[in-house]
C-alpha cells in the first residue's frame, strides 16, 4: 500500500539536490519519478532530472519517463546527454527498443540534434511506423536544410498505407523545399482538404516568399478567412525577402490597426524591411523606424538583443545621426552588455572606428565583454586597414578564456583575412580543435578573396561536413577571381548532382561573372535566360562588368536598363555605360549618359583610399583633396612617376574617360587616391606597422588598370610588398608581380 507521506516527500525534495532525492523515492511508484522528472524539466533543470533518474532504482523507470527525458534532450539540443541516456536504456531496459512511442522520441531527439544518420537507422529498423515516426524524420531533414531528402522522405510517406500526413508534416517539408516542390505540395494540400489549415497556409506563404513568388504568397494571405499572428509575420517576412519594404510596412500598419499583437519575429522583419535596397524613402523610413522603436520600448521587446540590434542596424542604414543614435542608447533604461553590444553591432560595418571606440568605452565602464561582444568587435576589426586591432582583440579573447570558442575562431579567420593577413587566418583555422561549417566556409572565402583559388579547391575535399549554399558561393567566387572557368562550371554542375543543393541567385551571379570575365559573354547571357528565378541586380551587375571589360555595348545597354529598373539610385549602370562609350572614343554618347545621371539626381560614389600610419588612419580622395600634406605628396608622387617611367611605366590614358588632351589625361591618372596613399606611406615608412616592409592600402572601389600597373612596378622599385584591398578582392604586389596574375 502506498505510503501516505509520499506527496509530502515529493514536495519537500524540491528544495534539495538530486543526491538528496534517493531516500524519498525509495519504495515508491514509477509515476512518482515521472512526475518529479517532469517538474525538474519544466524548470529547465534537465541535468538534475537526469541525475535523479540515473540514481533511482531501475524498477521506477517507465517508458513515459524515458520519453520525457528524450523529449527534453531534443528541446535543449543536448545530444551527448541523449546518447548516454539511450545507451543506458539499451543496457537496463532493452525491451524499450521495440516500443513505437519511445522510438519516435528517439528519432525526434537525434533529428533535432542534427544526428540524422542515426535517426534514419532507427527509423529503418522499426517494425512498425506511424505518422509521428515519418514526421519526426521529415522535420529533422528540413531543419538541417536538407530539403531534397526531406521531400523524398515525405513522398515515401505518402505511399504508406494508413499514414496520412498531418499539418505538422506539411509545415515541416514546406519549410525547406524549393518552389517547384512547393507547388506540388500545395496541390496535395488542396486535394487532401487541408487548405483551411492556418498552419499549412502560413508555411505555404513562407515557401512562396522564399522562392521569390511573393505575389502568390500575397494571394494566399488574402484568401485566409482568419489570420493568426504567424500569418501576418509570414507575409511581412515575405515582402521583406522580396525587398518590398513599403509593402512590408503596409502589412505591419494594417496588423497593428487590426489589434493583432506583434512579437519579436514581427519586429525583426519590420526593421529588416527598412534596410538595404527596399525602395524606402529615407525620411519616411527614419520616421517609421523611430515609431516602431517606440512600440518596441513600450512592449519591452527592445530589451532583446536581436530586436535592439535590428533597430540599430536599420536606423544607421537609414542615415540616422550617430549623436542622436547615441542619445537613444543612453536613454534606454537598461544599459547592460547587451545594449552596448547592440550599439557596437550597428556601427561595426558602417563605421568600424566608432564601433571600436565604443568597445573601449564599454571596458572603461567596467562591463565584461561576452562571447557575442567579442564576435561583433572582431567584425568591426575586419573593416580596418591592418590587422593590429584584430590582434589586440585576439589577445583579449585568450585572456577572457574564450580562445577555444568556435564562433570567435571563425570571426578571427574572417577579420584577419579582411585585414590582408591570409597567413594569420590559416593559422587560426589549422589550430582549431573543432570546426563547424562556418569555419570551413570562412577559410574558403578567405582564400578566394586573396586570389588563392587552388588552395580553396584543395581544401574543399577535406571538409568533414556537408557543404551548404555559402560553401559553393565561396568556391565559385574563388574560381571567378582566378579565371578558373572549367573548374567553376564543374563545381556549379556538382551542386545538385552530388550534393542536392539547388543553385540560388548568388551562385548564378558567380557563374555569370566567371563566364563573362573570360570573354564567354554569350554563354553568360544564355545562363541568365535559363535561370529558374528572376535575375537580381547582382547578376546584371556581373554581366555589365563583363561587357565593360570586353566592349560589348549592345548587351551592356540591356544590363543597364535592368539595373535602372531595380536600383534607380545606383550609379553603377550610368558610370559603366559612360565608361564603355568613352573607351570606344564615343564621348558624345558618354556625355549624354552623364547628363542623364545628373538629371536623375544620381551621384557616383567618389573613389577613396585609406592607409594607417602610426595609430591614425589617413583618407585620400582623388588628387589628395582635403589632406593637409597634399603639396608634399604630389611633389613626391611626380618624382616616383618619373622614376617608374624610366623602368617601363606607361600610363593607360585610354582609361581617362574624357575627351581632353593626353597631358591632362595623364594628370588625372597620376592623382588617383591609391597612388597618393602609397606615396604618403613611403614618406612615413618609419611609422608603418611591421617596419614599413609591407604597405597596406584599402580602397572603396575597384582598382583601375593604370593603378594596377603602377603598383606592380612600384613594388619592385621600392622593394616592398604592397597590399591593396579594393571593393572586390585583395591584390598582393611584390617584385613587379600581382597575386591576381592580372586577372580581376
Are 522 and 643 contained in the same domain?
Answer: no
- Alpha helices (runs of H) in 43-146, residue ranges in sequence order: 46-54, 63-76, 79-92, 100-112, 116-125, 131-143
Quick check: helix, strand or coil at residue 20?
A: helix
Angle, CA 720 vertex, CA 718 and CA 726 arms, to 5°: 110
User: Which of these ranges, 210-219, 382-391, 441-450, 650-659, has the smallest mean pLDDT?
Assistant: 650-659
Supply the pTM of this predicted model: 0.65
Cα distance between residue 68 and residue 89, in whole Å:
13
CB distance 96 to 63 below 8 Å: yes
What's the pLDDT score for residue 325?
Answer: 60
Are 530 and 625 contained in the same domain?
Answer: no
Tell me whether residue 55 is in a domain.
no
Number of domains in the chain: 2
Tell me whether residue 572 is in a domain.
yes
- Within 10 angstroms of residue 531's Cβ, the number of other Cβ atoms is 16
Tell me whether residue 323 is in a domain.
no
Range of the domain at 655: 608-738
User: Which of these ranges, 105-114, 193-202, 714-723, has the smallest mean pLDDT?
Assistant: 193-202
Question: Which residues lie below 8 Å from residue 711, measured CB to CB, with a gap of 6+?
Answer: 674, 678, 703, 722, 724, 731, 733, 738
Residue 303 has pLDDT above 80, yes or no: no
Residues paired with 613 in a beta bridge: 616
Residue 19 has pLDDT above 50, yes or no: no
CB distance 443 to 414 below 8 Å: no
Tell me whether residue 134 is in a domain.
no
pLDDT digits over 380-432, tens only? Answer: 999 999 999 999 999 999 999 999 999 999 999 999 999 999 999 999 999 99
Are 576 and 623 contained in the same domain?
Answer: no
Are 538 and 595 contained in the same domain?
Answer: yes
Are 476 and 587 contained in the same domain?
Answer: yes
- Within 10 angstroms of residue 529's Cβ, the number of other Cβ atoms is 7
Quick check: helix, strand or coil at residue 696?
A: strand
Residue 591 has pLDDT above 70, yes or no: yes
Residue 334 has pLDDT above 60, yes or no: no
Cα distance between residue 71 and residue 286, in whole Å:
45
Quick check: helix, strand or coil at residue 414?
A: helix
- Average per-residue pLDDT for the chain: 86
> Of the candidates 561, 578, 600, which is a domain's last residue?
600
What's the pLDDT score for residue 335?
Answer: 63
pLDDT digits over 546-577, tens only? Answer: 998 888 899 999 999 999 888 888 888 888 88
Are 645 and 576 contained in the same domain?
Answer: no
Are 731 and 624 contained in the same domain?
Answer: yes
Are 566 and 534 contained in the same domain?
Answer: yes
Angle, CA 661 vertex, CA 657 and CA 663 arms, to 5°: 100
Tell me whether strands 721-725 and 616-621 are parallel, antiparallel or unpaired: unpaired
CA distances to 294, 506, 568, 573 from 537, rounded to whole Å, are 34, 11, 11, 10
What's the pLDDT score for residue 452?
Answer: 94
CB distance 471 to 462 below 8 Å: no
738: phi then psi, degrees, rounded to nearest 5: -110, 145
Quick check: helix, strand or coil at residue 733?
A: strand
- Element (DSSP H or E) covering residue 508: helix 505-517
Sheet order of strands, 694-699 included: 616-621, 608-613, 694-699, 721-725, 730-734, 737-738
Tell me whether residue 341 is in a domain.
no
pLDDT digits over 458-479, tens only? Answer: 999 999 899 999 999 999 999 9
Residue 329 has pLDDT above 70, yes or no: no
- Element (DSSP H or E) covering residue 617: strand 616-621
Residues paired with 380 in a beta bridge: none
Tell me whether residue 613 is in a domain.
yes
pLDDT digits over 23-72, tens only? Answer: 444 445 667 778 888 888 777 788 888 888 888 887 888 888 888 899 98
CB distance 672 to 665 below 8 Å: no
CA distances to 245, 359, 380, 409 from 373, rounded to whole Å, are 29, 9, 11, 14
Residues paired with 611 in a beta bridge: 618
Residues paired with 699 in a beta bridge: 609
Mean pLDDT to the nearest integer, 240-258: 90
Higher confidence at residue 314 or residue 397? 397
Are 523 and 630 contained in the same domain?
Answer: no
Question: Which residues lie below 8 Å from residue 98, measured CB to CB, with a gap of 6+?
Answer: 127
Residue 332 has pLDDT above 60, yes or no: no
DSSP labels for 185-218? HHHHHHHTT-TT-HHHHHHHHHHHHHTT-HHHHH
- Within 10 angstroms of residue 723's Cβ, the number of other Cβ atoms is 25
Residue 655 has pLDDT above 70, yes or no: no
CB distance 77 to 113 below 8 Å: yes
Are 628 and 712 contained in the same domain?
Answer: yes
- Exposed/middle/buried for 365, CB within 10 Å: 0-12, 13-18, 19+? exposed
Tell me whether residue 637 is in a domain.
yes
User: Which of these ranges, 328-332, 354-358, 466-470, has the smallest mean pLDDT?
Assistant: 328-332
Mean pLDDT to the nearest integer, 237-252: 89
Give percent helix, percent strand, percent coil of the chain, each to the nearest 5.
70, 5, 30
> Of the candidates 600, 634, 668, which is a domain's last residue?
600
> Of the candidates 544, 567, 600, which is a domain's last residue?
600
Are 466 and 553 contained in the same domain?
Answer: yes
Tell me whether strands 737-738 and 730-734 are parallel, antiparallel or unpaired: antiparallel
Are 656 and 697 contained in the same domain?
Answer: yes
CATH of the domain at 495: 1.25.40.10
**Residue 669's pLDDT band (cuts 50, 70, 90):** low
Tell me whether residue 663 is in a domain.
yes
702: phi then psi, degrees, rounded to nearest 5: -70, 145
Cα distance between residue 24 and residue 90, in whole Å:
26
Question: Positive or negative CA dihedral for 239, 242, 245, 246?
Answer: negative
Question: Which residues lie below 8 Å from residue 741, measured CB to CB, with a gap of 6+?
Answer: 451, 482, 483
Amino acid at each position: 500500500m502506498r505510503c501516505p507521506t509520499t506527496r509530502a516527500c515529493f514536495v519537500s525534495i524540491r528544495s534539495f539536490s538530486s543526491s538528496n532525492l534517493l531516500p524519498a523515492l525509495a519504495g515508491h511508484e514509477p509515476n512518482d519519478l515521472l512526475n518529479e522528472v517532469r517538474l525538474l524539466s519544466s524548470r529547465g533543470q534537465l541535468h538534475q532530472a537526469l541525475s535523479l533518474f540515473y540514481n533511482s532504482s531501475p524498477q521506477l523507470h517507465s517508458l513515459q519517463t524515458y520519453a520525457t527525458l528524450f523529449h527534453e534532450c531534443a528541446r535543449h539540443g543536448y545530444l551527448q546527454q541523449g546518447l548516454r541516456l539511450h545507451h543506458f536504456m539499451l543496457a537496463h531496459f532493452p525491451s524499450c527498443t521495440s516500443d513505437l512511442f519511445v522510438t519516435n522520441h528517439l528519432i525526434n531527439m537525434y533529428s533535432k540534434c542534427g544526428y540524422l544518420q542515426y535517426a534514419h537507422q532507427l527509423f529503418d529498423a522499426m517494425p512498425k511506423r506511424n505518422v509521428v515516426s515519418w514526421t519526426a524524420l521529415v522535420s529533422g531533414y528540413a531543419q538541417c536544410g536538407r530539403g531534397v531528402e526531406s521531400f523524398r522522405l515525405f513522398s515515401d510517406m505518402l505511399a504508406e498505407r494508413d499514414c496520412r500526413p498531418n499539418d505538422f508534416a506539411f509545415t515541416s517539408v514546406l519549410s525547406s523545399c524549393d518552389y517547384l516542390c512547393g507547388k506540388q505540395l500545395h496541390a496535395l494540400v488542396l486535394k487532401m482538404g487541408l487548405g483551411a489549415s492556418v498552419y499549412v497556409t502560413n508555411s505555404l506563404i513562407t515557401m512562396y516568399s522564399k522562392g521569390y513568388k511573393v505575389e502568390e504568397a500575397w494571394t494566399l494571405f488574402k484568401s485566409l478567412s482568419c489570420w493568426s499572428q504567424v500569418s501576418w509575420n509570414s507575409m511581412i517576412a515575405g515582402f521583406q525577402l522580396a525587398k518590398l519594404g513599403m509593402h512590408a510596412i503596409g502589412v505591419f500598419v494594417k496588423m497593428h490597426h487590426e489589434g493583432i499583437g506583434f512579437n519579436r519575429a514581427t519586429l525583426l522583419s519590420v526593421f529588416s524591411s527598412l534596410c538595404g535596397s527596399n525602395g524606402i524613402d529615407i525620411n519616411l523610413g527614419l520616421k517609421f523606424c523611430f515609431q516602431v522603436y517606440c512600440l518596441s520600448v513600450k512592449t519591452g521587446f527592445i530589451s532583446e538583443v536581436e530586436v535592439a540590434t535590428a533597430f540599430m542596424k536599420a536606423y544607421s542604414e537609414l542615415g540616422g545621426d550617430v549623436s542622436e543614435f547615441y542619445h537613444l542608447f543612453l536613454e534606454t533604461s537598461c544599459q547592460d552588455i547587451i545594449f552596448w553590444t547592440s550599439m557596437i553591432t550597428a556601427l561595426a560595418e558602417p563605421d568600424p572606428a566608432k564601433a571600436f571606440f565604443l568597445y573601449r568605452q564599454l571596458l572603461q565602464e567596467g562591463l565584461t565583454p561576452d562571447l557575442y561582444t567579442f564576435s561583433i568587435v572582431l567584425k568591426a576589426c575586419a573593416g580596418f586597414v591592418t590587422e593590429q586591432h584584430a590582434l589586440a582583440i585576439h589577445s583579449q579573447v585568450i585572456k577572457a578564456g574564450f580562445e577555444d570558442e568556435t564562433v570567435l575562431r571563425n570571426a578571427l579567420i574572417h577579420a584577419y583575412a579582411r585585414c590582408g593577413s591570409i597567413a594569420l587566418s590559416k593559422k587560426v583555422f589549422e589550430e582549431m580543435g573543432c570546426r563547424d561549417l562556418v569555419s570551413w566556409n570562412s577559410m574558403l572565402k578567405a582564400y578566394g578573396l586573396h586570389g588563392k583559388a587552388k588552395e580553396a579547391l584543395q581544401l574543399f575535399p577535406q571538409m568533414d561536413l556537408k557543404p551548404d549554399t555559402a560553401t559553393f558561393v565561396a568556391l565559385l567566387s574563388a574560381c571567378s577571381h582566378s579565371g578558373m572557368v572549367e573548374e567553376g562550371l564543374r563545381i556549379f554542375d556538382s551542386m545538385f548532382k552530388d550534393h542536392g543543393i539547388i543553385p540560388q541567385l548568388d551562385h548564378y551571379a558567380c557563374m555569370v561573372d566567371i563566364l563573362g570575365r573570360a570573354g564567354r559573354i554569350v554563354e553568360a547571357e544564355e545562363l541568365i535566360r535559363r535561370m529558374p528565378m528572376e535575375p537580381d541586380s547582382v547578376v546584371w551587375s556581373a554581366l555589365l562588368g563583363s561587357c565593360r571589360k570586353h566592349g560589348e555595348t549592345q548587351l551592356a545597354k540591356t544590363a543597364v536598363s535592368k539595373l535602372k529598373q531595380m536600383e534607380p539610385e545606383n550609379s553603377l549602370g550610368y558610370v559603366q555605360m559612360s565608361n564603355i562609350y568613352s573607351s570606344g572614343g564615343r564621348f558624345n554618347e558618354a556625355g549624354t549618359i552623364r547628363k542623364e545621371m545628373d538629371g536623375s539626381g544620381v551621384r557616383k560614389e567618389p573613389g577613396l583610399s585609406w592607409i594607417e600610419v602610426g595609430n591614425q588612419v589617413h583618407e585620400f580622395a582623388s588628387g589628395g583633396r582635403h589632406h593637409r600634406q597634399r603639396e608634399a605628396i604630389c611633389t613626391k608622387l611626380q618624382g616616383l612617376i618619373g622614376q617608374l617611367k624610366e623602368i617601363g611605366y606607361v600610363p593607360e590614358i585610354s582609361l581617362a574617360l574624357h575627351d581632353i588632351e593626353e597631358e591632362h589625361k595623364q594628370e588625372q591618372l597620376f592623382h588617383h587616391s591609391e597612388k597618393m596613399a602609397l606615396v604618403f606611406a613611403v614618406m612615413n615608412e618609419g611609422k608603418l606597422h611591421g617596419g614599413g616592409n609591407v604597405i597596406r592600402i584599402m580602397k572603396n572601389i575597384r582598382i583601375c588598370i593604370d593603378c594596377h600597373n603602377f603598383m606592380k612596378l612600384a613594388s619592385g622599385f621600392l622593394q616592398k610588398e604592397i597590399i591593396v584591398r579594393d571593393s572586390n578582392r585583395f591584390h598582393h604586389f611584390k617584385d613587379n608581380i600581382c597575386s591576381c596574375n592580372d586577372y580581376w
